[in-house]
Each structure stands twice: as structure tokens, then as C-alpha cells.
Structure 1
Amino acid sequence: MALNTPNRGYPYPQYSDAANAPTQIQAFATAVDTDMFNNIRAPRLEAEGYSSCRVIRDVGTQAIANNTSVTLTYTVETYDNDSMANLGVNNTIVTITTPGVYLLGGSVNMQPDGSATGAAALIFASNGGVVQNPVGSSRDLHATRQTSISGTTLHQVLVGGEQISMFVRHNHGAGLNATLAQLSVTRIA
């Protein structure tokens, strides 16, 4: 009578069982193969169809006034399998159409102006307010190199139609320019 491993349920023979290596090895291999498919491959195949979108601004700059929250704009939709972005209609938002748990990721580069005073922050927001999880990221501004700011968070969307955007804010004392910016929204559950 075969026994099963406690965690995964793989069959193995008892010491008192008659040896039948081909049958016992086949039962074990089939159990491992089925387990791998059910717990690794099948979820990955399902996740390939999950909603995902990425928008970027890869050319030009965007003026960011001092002590003002400025919503970032985008020029290119690099991926969108659920019609979440329409930059011709609104180049500042991604509209989540399918409820679920989403991974939000984004970044922006701030150009230097020779003075290293102040800091800048990048914040995710939804049309219902600021995203509930920790979503802000801030850095001191650099005088001679671009300051890159990025952030990542999880966000649960209960009803389709929620709009996600990012804004940047700084206290440098004078206006700055933002260069490259990107926003990714990907359903994970």
C-alpha cells in the first residue's frame, strides 16, 4: 500500500511493499508533473491574460512648478491588453477596467538646474483619492545630475472604471523640468 508525502501528496512505497520500480516511479513522476502544472504552469498561463498597461513619456520635458502637485503626462503606450489607456483622449491617466489587485509602478526623472536645494516626491493617485497603500517616494534633488524617483505599490480595485495617475511635487524654490516618466498598471490577482 503506497503512502503519500504530507505536504504535496506524492506517492511512495512502504518498505513492506513488493518492489515494482517502473510502476512506483511512474506514479511518483505523474504526481510531480500534475503538481507542477496545477501550481506553477496553470497559474502562469492564467496570469498571461491579466490586465496590464504601460505608458511612458520618452520625449520632451514637462514643467513642474515649485510647491505644486503636477500630474505627469505620457506620450507613448508601450503595452495595453485591456484598453486601459487612450493617450489621444487623456494623456495623464490609466483607467482600470477589470476589478482585482494591481501592481502599480512608476518613475520620473527631474532635470537639475545647478542648485541642490529641496526634494521631490512622486505619488500615485486614483480618482477616489490617493491610493491607500504606501505610495509616495521622495528624494533630495541633485545639483548636476538628474534625480530619478520611483515607486511601487499594490492597489485593490473593486469596481472597473477607476483611474490611476501619478503626480510629482518639489520644493526646490524654482520650477524644474521632468523628463522620462513611466506608469505601469498590472493585475496580479
Structure 2
Amino acid sequence: MPDTTPRGYEYPLYSDTQNFPAQIQALAEDIDADVQSLYDADQAARNAPSASLGLTGPIQLIPTGAITTVQFSFVEYDNAGMATLPSNIAIVETGLYLVTGGATFLSAATGGQAVLLRSVGGLVPDIATVTKAPATSVNNLFSLVALTRCAAGETITMAVLQNSGAGSVLQDAQLSVTKVAP
């Protein structure tokens, strides 16, 4: 009676009747099935729903004291019809998603700034938030990463907040959503 490896490859025991052609064929078929399953998993991962929105240049003026949805200017990538300009990515399949975002405010001398990854129609309204005091001589770069369960029909947006007492300029921004597991 043959035995199998942890990956499922069949091999004969010394006590088995030896039939080399049949045994090598069984090994070849096991390897082929294993490699095909790895290939199929790789293709499924590469074709997982994914989208990315971008904003470049000092385009969006952010008023003081108001949570403001970022208005993106272009779609960087979208393999599933998820991106909707100017502001959101709509989830097309329920699952676990990697949500990333980044934004750069032009330098400011007073107040604080924040960036929020938000969900409409999901379990968690604010997926991730990062805040910091503004830099006075350099631009303030924010970066957020979250792993979150999303439902089909949910929309993901990015919002910003600043309280400098005057308008502030958002220099660039990026929002990406990729399904990583069912």
C-alpha cells in the first residue's frame, strides 16, 4: 500500500509490489496537480479586485475645521470597475481588503492635520486615522494602511482635516484597495 508525502505525492513502500512505470506516472500526476493548484491560486490572487485613485499637484484646498473628502483627479489602476472619480472605490466582492492611503499637505505653521480612511455602508465607519502637528518648513506626509473586512456595495473614501485657522492645500494623495482573502 503506497504512502504519501505531506504535499500529497504518492510513493511506494519497500513492501509494495514494484511497478516503476505506474509509480512514476502517479508521481508525475501528483506533481502536475500540485503545480496546477499553485498556478490557479496565483492567478486568482493576481486577478483579485483592486483599484487605486490618485491626486497630483496642489489641487485641493482644504478648509479649516471641516472633515473634507479628498477629490482625486485620476484612476491609477482598476481591474474590477471599482474606482469612481472623484472620490471613492466601491467594493464589488465581500472579503478581506488591504486599504492604503497617503496624502501630503503643503507646509503650514499652525494647527494640526489628519487623514482618515473611511467606509460608507461597512461595519467600521473610520477604518484608520493618523494625525500630527504640521511641519513649518517641509510638507507633511501622511501614510495609512489597514486590513479590514468589506462587504459588496461598501464604498471606501479618504478624508482630511486641518485646523490651521485658514485653508490649507493638499498637494497629492493616493487611495488603494485590494482584496487579499475571501
Aligned to 1:184: 176
Is it true that 1:145 corresponds to 2:143 in the alignment?
no
Aligned partners of 2:127 and 2:148 also within 8 Å: no
Q: 1:155 aligns with which of 139, 145, 148?
A: 148
Normalising by the residue count of structure 2, what TM-score does the alignment of the two structures yield? 0.80
Letter of the aligned partner of 1:85 in structure 2? A
1:107 is matched by which residue type in structure 2?
G
Residue in structure 1 matched with residue 82 of structure 2 by the alignment: 84
Which residue in 2 is equivalent to 1:72? Answer: 70
- 1:22 and 1:142 map into 2 onto residues whose CA distance is 72
Q: Deviations over 1:11-63 (max 9, x none)?
A: 2332344666676455434423322321x211221233332211100233322
| Aligned AA (1:76) | F
Asked if structure 2 preserves the Cα contact closer than 8 Å seen for 1:111 and 1:178, the reply is yes
- Give how far 1:183 is off: 0.9
* Unaligned 5+ runs, structure 1: none
Deviation at 1:77, TM superposition (A): 0.9
| Unaligned runs of at least 5 residues, structure 2 | none
Query: What is the CA–CA distance in structure 2 between the aligned matches of 1:9 and 1:27, rounded to whole Å?
Result: 11
1:165 and 2:160 equivalent?
Answer: no
- The 5 Å alignment of 1:9-88 reads 9-17=8-16, 24=23, 27-38=26-37, 40-87=38-85
Secondary structure of 1:135 counterpart: strand
Does residue 135 of structure 2 align to residue 136 of structure 1? Answer: no
Could you tell me whether the CA contact under 8 Å between 2:116 and 2:127 is conserved in 1? no
How many Å separate the matches in 2 of 1:173 and 1:130?
Answer: 33
Task: Work out the CA distance in 2 between the residues paired with 1:93 and 1:182.
Answer: 11
Equivalent position to 2:116, from 110, 120, 123: 123
Decide whether aligned partners of structure 1 residues 174 and 16 sit closer, same or farther in structure 2, where only a CA change above 3 A counts. same
Q: Percent identity?
A: 33
1:100 aligned to 95, 99, 105, which one? 95
DSSP 3-state at the match of 1:103:
strand
Q: Measure the CA separation in 2 of the matches of 1:143 and 1:28.
A: 66
Provide Cα deviations, 1:56-111, integer angstroms capped at 9, x if missing partner: 00233322233321111100112222222232xxx122222333332211110111
Q: Retained in 1: the 8 A contact 2:119–2:125?
A: no
**Distance across 2 between alignment mates of 1:133 and 1:166:** 9
Aligned residues, how many? 181
Q: CA deviation at 1:120?
A: 2.6
Return the alpha-carbon distance in structure 1 between the equivalents of residues 15 and 92 of structure 2: 59
